[in-house]
Amino acid sequence: MIRWIRQQLGVDPPHQSDTRTVYIANKFPQHGLYTPQRFADNRIISSKYTIWNFVPKNLFEQFRRIANFYFLIIFLVQLMIDTPTSPITSGLPLFFVITVTAIKQGYEDWLRHKADNEVNGAPVFVVRSGSLVQTRSKNIRVGDIVRVAKDETFPADLVLLSSDRAEGTCHITTTSLDGETNLKTHYSVPETAVSQSVSRLESLQAVVECQQPEADLYRFVGRITVTQQGEEIVRPLGPENLLLRGARLKNTKEIFGVAVYTGMESKMALNYKCKSQKRSAVEKSMNTFLIIYLGILLFEAILSTILKYAWQAENKWDEPFYNEKTDQERNSSQILKFISDFLAFLVLYNFIIPISLYVTVELQKFLGSFFIGWDLDLYHEESDQKAQVNTSDLNEELGQVEYVFTDKTGTLTENEMQFRECSINGIKYQEINGKLIPEGMTEDFPDGSAPYLNREEELFLKAVSLCHTVQISYDQTDGLGVSFSHANGFSPQMEYYASSPDEKALVEATKRMGVTFTGSNGENMEIKTFGKAEKYKLLHVLEFDANRRRMSVILQTPSGENVLFIKGAESAILPYTKSGEIDKTRVHVDEFALKGLRTLVVACRHFSADEYKEVDRRLHEARTALQQREERLAEVFNFIEKDLELLGATGVEDKLQDKVQETIEALRLAGIKVWVLTGDKHETAVSVSLSCGHFHRTMNILELIQQKSDNECAEQLRRLDRRIREDHVIQHGLVVDGASLSLALREHEKLFMEVCKNCSAVLCCRMAPLQKAKVVRLLKTSPEKPITLAIGDGANDVSMIQEAHVGIGIMGKEGRQAVRNSDYAFARFKFLAKLLLVHGHFYYIRIATLVQYFFYKNVCFITPQFLYQFFCLFSQQTLYDSVYLTLYNICFTSLPILVYSLFEQLVHPHVLQSKPALYRDISKNSLLSFKTFLYWTLLGFCHAFIFFFGSYILMGEDTTLMGNGQMFGNWTFGTLVFTVMVITVTLKLALETQFWTWMNHFVTWGSIAFYFIFSLFYGGIIWPFLHTQDMYFVFVQLLSSGSAWFAIIIIIITCLFPDVIKKVFCRHLQPTSTQKSQFIEAYQGIGCVDSMCCFSEGQNACSRLVERMMGRCDPARATRSWSDSDTFFSNDRSILTLSPMEVSHC
Instruction: Give catalytic residues, as residue numbers.
Output: 407
Alpha carbon 803 to chain centroid, angstroms: 10
CA angle 1042, 1046, 1050 (to 5 degrees): 175
Residues linked to residue 437 through DSSP beta bridges, in sequence order: 430
Residues linked to residue 717 through DSSP beta bridges, in sequence order: none
Residue 36 in contact with residue 28, Cβ under 8 Å?
Answer: yes
SS3 749: helix
Cα 777 to Cα 574: distance, rounded to the nearest angstrom: 33
The burial of 172, by beta-carbon neighbours within 10 Å (0-12 exposed, 13-18 middle, 19 or more buried), is given as: buried
Cα 987 to Cα 1056: distance, rounded to the nearest angstrom: 8
Residue 417 in contact with residue 501, Cβ under 8 Å?
Answer: yes
SS3 295: helix
C-alpha atoms less than 13 angstroms from C-alpha of 122 in its C-beta half-sphere: 19
The burial of 80, by beta-carbon neighbours within 10 Å (0-12 exposed, 13-18 middle, 19 or more buried), is given as: exposed
DSSP 612-665: HHHHHHHHHHHHH-SSSHHHHHHHHHHHHS-SEEEEEEEEEEEEEPTTHHHHHH
Residue 1052 in contact with residue 987, Cβ under 8 Å?
Answer: yes
**Cα dist. 133→120, 150, 193, 222, 257 in Å?**
17, 18, 21, 28, 15
Cα 164 to Cα 195: distance, rounded to the nearest angstrom: 10
The side-by-side arrangement of strands in the sheet containing 206-211 is 19-23, 206-211, 222-228, 231-237
Residues linked to residue 256 through DSSP beta bridges, in sequence order: 147, 162
Report the candidate in 260, 265, 264, 266 with the shortest Cα–Cα distance to residue 246.
266
Cα 39 to Cα 258: distance, rounded to the nearest angstrom: 14
DSSP 814-858: S-SHHHHT-SEEES-TTHHHHIIIIIIHHHHHHHHHHHHHHHHHH
Report the candidate in 788, 829, 787, 823 with the shortest Cα–Cα distance to residue 807.
823
DSSP 95-152: HHHHHHHHHHHHHHHHHHHHHHHHHHT-EEEEEETTEEEEEEGGG--TT-EEEEETTP
Report the candidate in 266, 270, 272 with the shortest Cα–Cα distance to residue 242.
266
Alpha carbon 610 to chain centroid, angstroms: 53
Q: How many CB atoms lie within 10 A of CB 532?
A: 8
Q: Torsions phi, psi of 589, nearest 5?
A: -60, -40
Stated length of the chain: 1146
Q: What DSSP state is assigned to residue 1133?
A: G
